[in-house]
Structure 1
């Protein structure tokens, strides 16, 4: 027997003060899958088809949440062109969270498409991971003026969205890129002190903090070599942990599709 949110409220006497948006979304997804099963004469929907339906539905809900947000002044800033929701596979065990959109991301409405994003793609590809097979997002979805660090009130304004993304995707491992992402998971955290050290999100999801790709692009000489090595080690630790927790997940479909010079 399939129950709706309203059925459950009635069944339990409508005692809930608040039902979290992600819970409502997951119930709605169940209804969508049930309706689509009629196209298969009420037989089980093929897994590949079900995965496509889930991805399209969840991506739509995340985009709607992002587009509706007017919780801080960044949406009205002169530098603002597009909000930037996360992108990638929503059924992935690996989620990467950065800080904020930059110039290129704001212009295109996609995360990590500038020089830092190209570096991130190379790191993933060298690790034999297609970036389309992971989910990539930022703590805040609008570009701060002059690419400054987000203010605490701006991070707070976007908190519901990033929490919803994590709850809907349910990653096995999260890589936190940069100080802003780290501080979302550890108040008062220092990226130079805490990178490479495992954290836990809500006591269940392992989080690996590491330097943001943009930080690497600013380094020179011996410090650059050392920082590259540290980031590589952090990524490999996170990927290995992810593969242990989800050993059958295909991080790439066809190795020939991976372009290491992206």
Structure 2
């Protein structure tokens, strides 16, 4: 089962969606699942057997993955069933402030971030909900409760404004002006709350847009890059393949469902 459900309206700017992946029969057991760099963070809850990382280590039952700058690989097993909360940049800053430096390109046990109590409560509540619709309701409730119990960082508005500019393809200089700081201050804000600088985030935005275009077979995959050589260098460095070679490869089921054929996804996450 592959499914995407939207968050509650109060979470719309913080959560892109709830992504469900289920392989209880183990039809794809042992298969490597590859994910691409994205300008999003992920809160994941394993309902079934946790997947393992490429080195064989099991992932935490409830985990937070910050901004992802390189492709990652996971191994699926039988009884695989998990849900991912796809967090926007604003969602990461608002819901899990000050975790960017420790979570960027790392999968953290949520208990180390929130304390064991909230993490265990989320795990047990999601596990008892049974259906995706009920699980989405549990996630809504847990996230909204967290919003009411933690204070927003003062810089969140500046980060959001700067990120929106970078998402539109504006320069770092323009993003800094919109946030009413200089480039050095903006870099400090981004590093403190996201674990990456604005230049790095702009690069992730370009790559993400390019991968979306290639997966969908429409749009300009070079949009945001200075030229094709620039695009190819970025793909090789972050994905390990050129756009041309990737466009000729067969898509996985996850890629087809979440990236190519699903208008609700909006994220080229599975590679």
TM-score by length of 1: 0.29
**Which one has the bigger strand percentage?**
2
**Which one has the bigger helix percentage?**
1
TM-score by length of 2: 0.29
- Larger gyration radius, structure 1 or structure 2: 1
